[in-house]
Structure 1
């Protein structure tokens, strides 16, 4: 069995904020499987899906982000899961918006949901699916930035990032972390700079620059 935790804040006012991108990914995994969410105790919503032969429990903590571990630790304990069986899907301030990467373990990097999971599990040895939301623009406090809403011009990239995030969750659950890293690390949805078009050499017209005859006047 695998446990996938989408990190976010409960409440309709937070649904479309950057901090809740982890929720968007697990919602997409549940939608694809036709799974429904149910309340589990007072601290979590869960949905059960099957990926290949693997049973996967999706979790959306109903605590606020800073106390996410309170929703996660009981599932890890009840199902006697190893760290490698838990995947935390999180927003990542230190990655550009549109960048996706999986990591096997590591420190929380300032992400308070991951920080609290580490605190209550007592270790850092669980994988993370990090979805870049970029550093805040000049003058923004990071706390305000993560709770800001997505801009309309970001919608297409966000939708693609969520779809690929759900794909990465499925590969992790069915084929393991190494295969998911191989397929998805390095995913970068940022717009590519346009390639400058070549211009005729100085002092030559287009026909001469291309090696053709000059036009007849």
Structure 2
């Protein structure tokens, strides 16, 4: 029986459900970028000629926190109204610091936390204006979440992968937009309903509820 992580990877985005994945497209690495180091023939994680380990560690080390560049106050307890709003809208959940934190913890129990990490990494990339930094972050996102060599590879269909491979020739802040939408849709369709029915979400509702007045028990 597949694990929850494997089950997530079996479902393409709704608009691509009828397309069979292409193994040759999946395995293809994006071509070398014009003007970049001639020894880099691909964007896979085996290519490190233009990157020192120090540079890699500098950006990867705080991955669990730095990638979450949206307005953050995850330590602030959410109100009951906010927690209830998460059940009405996945978008509200994903744009609430406390909601993202709670949902990410739930995804971790399902072995699919990489979906949230990838979405957050794309949000940070889209907010970046410095092209040199965009190049660096796009490369690391590809290595961490798109490369078939990565243990944190997210589930993407062949069309989206081919588009990423083309755009990685000249990365931009929007290189992963299609992939981000597909992963967002996957979380919304598969993981979000289970989160709302989970003991973790019910516990959040109880914690956010005001204490009962004396005599109301």
Class of the TM-score when normalised by the shorter of the 2 chains: under 0.3
Structure possessing the higher radius of gyration over alpha carbons: 1
Structure richer in strand, relative to its length: 1
